[in-house]
Structure 1
Amino acid sequence: MSNEVNSATSTYVDSLRWPDKQVPTEKNDELKQEDFFALLTQQLSYQDPSKPADNDQMIAQMTNFTMAEGISDLNSKFESLAESMTSNSALQASTLIGKKALLESDTIEHGPDMQSRGSIIVTEPVEKLTVSILNDKNELVRTIDLKDQSPGAVRFDWDGKNTEGEMLPPGDYKIKAEGSVHGQFTALPTATFRNIESVNVNGASGIVINTKAGAVRLTDVAELA
């Protein structure tokens, strides 16, 4: 009688316990080299002795498996290389902050303790080349005479002063480059140096630099200074 009570009590107590939680094991569906050889061995054990497997087929299977394994390993290495290159690009891009980039623009930046510089793109010989600087009211404040120039990048500097030699307020000023080409008065494209304030590293666009004039890709920058 006592044993029956103990047994009943034990069964009742066991029913109150939390069931043991089975931790599921992670299933890895990836076939490894040893799995391939196990399959190959199994295949050989079931082959017909009167029709043995063709050696060329066996070699082809082994070659295909080796190539697949090599490509998979190569892909993982390329992913690691891409991550490393992205990190290196971000590190290199950070060193551009504070430098100046020569960008195609029709404005020039003037500020305290800064040299305003630009370049004119001349594709043919030009005579009487000038750079006109205008304020935000479109008023002419300074004219820089660059005389006759041969094809190439013609540099110019502006000290931030007007025609009377007075220092002008900081800001962006419009510029116009004009000259005589084949006897005709012609407007020419200009580029100016802009301060790089920040950079972005984008997958599709690569490195993008940010200036007051806007954002441009690093590949569109003509020169860094």
Structure 2
Amino acid sequence: MEHVTNSLTEQLYWGDKKQVGKDQGDGKLGQEDFFRLLTQQMSMQDPTKPMDNDQMIAQMTNFTMAEGISDLSNEFKQFAANMTSNQALQASSMVGQKVLIPSDVSYFNGTRPVDGIVSLPQSGDNVQVRIKNEAGEIVHTIDMGTLPQGQHNFSWDGTLADGSKAPNGDYVIEATGSMGTQTEALPALTYGFVESVSMGGQGGIVLNLESIGRVDLRDVIQITSGGA
């Protein structure tokens, strides 16, 4: 009888043996733990009301689905992290390149020319690009004449009217042209030089341009080989 009593006591206090899954440190139930609990549940069920097969299958299905969703979520996070790393690596190759951005401000460093694009919605006459310093003074004018519809490049090497070089600094680009009988302002885009690349919010790539500052990679219109 003593053996029977001890056996019954062991059954009643089965939890004291702490028979849990192998991964005790993470606090999560694995598939092995689930089947152990299910087996224990079946062994302790009321013989007059045994577990319905449909209930058992439903529990197994729910657990499998939950485990699959958890694994899928972890794999997706890892995939997103890998994608972000790859983007950062690819973007790092842009350091030293020049990029076309939707800005009418360009930086002259004393050696590299100020480059940009004038966009014409239709053909125009007397197209001019005026370059202004930080004080708002016109330091140079580029006459581009008559141009068809589309985008047209311009460049200024920093030479002033007296033949000297303009000081280093930011310069504003203004473009106008005659569309029929009226003179209209035209969109002017400029190039900036990439000094470094960094990660922005939500995994986005941010380019740090010389003097201009931070620009989101998604705002870049064109990438061109850099100069001196």
Which bracket does the TM-score occupy, shorter chain normalised? 0.7 to 0.9
Q: Deviations over 1:108-135 (max 9, x none)?
A: 3323442321011222332221101223
Q: Deviations over 1:45-90 (max 9, x none)?
A: 3445555433332222111111111122222222322332333233
Work out whether 1:57 is the aligned partner of 2:71. no
- Alpha-carbon distance in structure 2 between the residues aligned to 1:174 and 1:127: 22
Instruction: Give the aligned partner of residue 128 of structure 2.
Output: 130
* TM superposition shift of 1:164: 5.1
Q: How do residues 122-161 of structure 1 correspond to structure 2 at under 5 angstroms?
A: 122-161=120-159
Work out whether 1:96 is the aligned partner of 2:94. yes
* TM-score, scaled relative to structure 2: 0.76
Is the 2:110–2:165 Cα contact (8 Å) retained in structure 1?
no
* TM superposition shift of 1:186: 0.9
- Alpha-carbon distance in structure 1 between the residues aligned to 2:203 and 2:142: 37
Is the 2:123–2:147 Cα contact (8 Å) retained in structure 1?
yes
From the superposition, tell whether residues 45 and 202 of structure 1 become closer, same or farther in structure 2 (CA, over 3 Å).
same
- Alpha-carbon distance in structure 2 between the residues aligned to 1:51 and 1:28: 35
3-state DSSP of counterpart to 1:120: strand
From the superposition, tell whether residues 35 and 163 of structure 1 become closer, same or farther in structure 2 (CA, over 3 Å).
same
Q: Which runs of 5+ in 2 are unaligned?
A: 1-23
Q: How do residues 15-54 of structure 1 correspond to structure 2 at under 5 angstroms?
A: 28-49=26-47, 51-54=49-52
Give the count of matched residue pairs: 200
Instruction: Give the aligned partner of residue 198 of structure 1.
Output: 196
Q: Deviations over 1:95-120 (max 9, x none)?
A: 22211111222233323442321011
Instruction: Give the aligned partner of residue 221 of structure 2.
Output: 222
Instruction: Give the aligned partner of residue 7 of structure 1.
Output: none
- Alpha-carbon distance in structure 2 between the residues aligned to 1:223 and 1:124: 22
Is the 2:88–2:199 Cα contact (8 Å) retained in structure 1?
yes
Name whichever of 74-83 and 193-202 sits farther off.
74-83
- Alpha-carbon distance in structure 1 between the residues aligned to 2:179 and 2:120: 10
- Alpha-carbon distance in structure 2 between the residues aligned to 1:160 and 1:28: 64
Is the 1:143–1:163 Cα contact (8 Å) retained in structure 2?
no
* TM superposition shift of 1:184: 1.5
From the superposition, tell whether residues 46 and 193 of structure 1 become closer, same or farther in structure 2 (CA, over 3 Å).
same
Percent of pairs identical after alignment? 47
Q: What RMSD in Å do the two structures reach over aligned CA positions?
A: 2.3
- Alpha-carbon distance in structure 2 between the residues aligned to 1:109 and 1:156: 15
3-state DSSP of counterpart to 2:155: strand
Instruction: Give the aligned partner of residue 15 of structure 2.
Output: none
Instruction: Give the aligned partner of residue 85 of structure 1.
Output: 83
Larger radius of gyration: 1
Counterpart amino acid of 1:181? M
From the superposition, tell whether residues 30 and 111 of structure 1 become closer, same or farther in structure 2 (CA, over 3 Å).
closer
From the superposition, tell whether residues 67 and 152 of structure 1 become closer, same or farther in structure 2 (CA, over 3 Å).
same
1:107 to 72, 81, 105: 105
3-state DSSP of counterpart to 1:86: helix
1:169 to 147, 151, 167: 167
3-state DSSP of counterpart to 1:199: strand
* TM-score, scaled relative to structure 1: 0.77
Name whichever of 154-163 and 49-58 sits farther off.
49-58
